[in-house]
Amino acid sequence: MTVTPGAPSPIGSLPNLRDLGGWRTADGRVVRSGLLFRSTDFSSLADSDVAALEALGLRTVYDLRSVHEREAIPDPSLPDVTEVGLDVLADAQMSIPANIGAVLADPAVVAQADKVLAGGKAREMIAGTYREMITLPSATAAYSEFYRGLLGDAPGPILFHCTTGKDRTGWAAAAFLTLVGVGKEDVYRDYLLTNERLIPALKHIFDGFAAAGGDPQLLVGALGVDAGYLDAAFDEVRTRFGGIEGYFSEALGIDTREQDKIRERFLVEG
């Protein structure tokens, strides 16, 4: 069964979860449905939705968060699921994606956050983080292990996530879709769906930030996604490696034969 590309989450309490299946490639094939899912962490998972999550039949979950994030909000234990922790931004000196949870959970830092995020600084910092996701040793090691997992023999569907499922997860999804041949317009369409799915679910955070004296508009750049962020990552890929295949082979150590194997596993005839 092929899902509609970018279909809404089947789990109401995880609105930014989605199947990466259904997107059509330039050669007319389609990304296989029910095999690869992107998501936020599971902190908002309602008890009533646990069965729906288990119904996805997941066999491996890749957690792209920092060690601190994972310890603060560990993933629930799911039956017959192997969890793999991959700290993408371990080598980053400062990262909004890896620290946003702490900022939003502590009203005492709201005034400082206003200073940090004002004047377009948030967008500039996050764009810089996207470039670091191409160059940091921790990022290349983490993404290499993740994509090698897609090559592995582990049966069943795979889910990958970070905290809000937008930056570390967003790049992982965009690079995957680009590698298998999905066109740029659709790659960005999937990426930008996060603004539709995630921002409304975070209204309470915007309200709380405002109540603590912060300017909620400043959070849009930090809690949402922007095409410019993804542009920054792809620009870094082009500059350093010439394109997505070069990134996979030179940065991640996944050669052309292995790249073809990923395509074979995740694509079906349209």
Domain housing 180: 18-269
Q: Provide mean pLDDT across the span 131-138.
A: 98
Is 109 part of a structural domain of the chain?
Answer: yes
| pLDDT for the residue 111 | 57
- Lowest-pLDDT range, 116-120, 173-177, 185-189, 206-210? 116-120
In a domain, 81, yes or no: yes
pTM passes above 0.75: yes
Q: What is the pLDDT of residue 196?
A: 94
Indicate the number of domains in the chain. 1
* CATH code of the domain covering residue 42: 3.90.190.10
Tell me, yes or no, whether 217 lies in a domain: yes
Answer whether residue 2 is part of any domain: no
- pLDDT on residue 3: 80
**Reported confidence tier of residue 255, pLDDT bands at 50, 70, 90:** very high
- Cα distance between residue 107 and residue 104, in whole Å: 7
Residue scoring higher pLDDT (212 or 81) = 81
Lowest mean pLDDT among 24-28, 95-99, 171-175, 263-267: 95-99
Strands 60-63 and 158-161: parallel
Query: What percent of the chain has pLDDT above 70?
Result: 89
Q: Evaluate whether residue 251 is within a structural domain.
A: yes
Given this model, what pLDDT does residue 50 score?
Answer: 95
**pLDDT at residue 99 tops 70:** no
Burial of 109 (0-12, 13-18, 19+ CB in 10 A): middle
Greatest CA separation found in the chain?
A: 54
**Among 73-82, 106-115, 157-166, where is mean pLDDT lowest?**
106-115
Whether residue 7 is contained in a domain is answered as: no
Q: Is 164 among the domain residues? A: yes
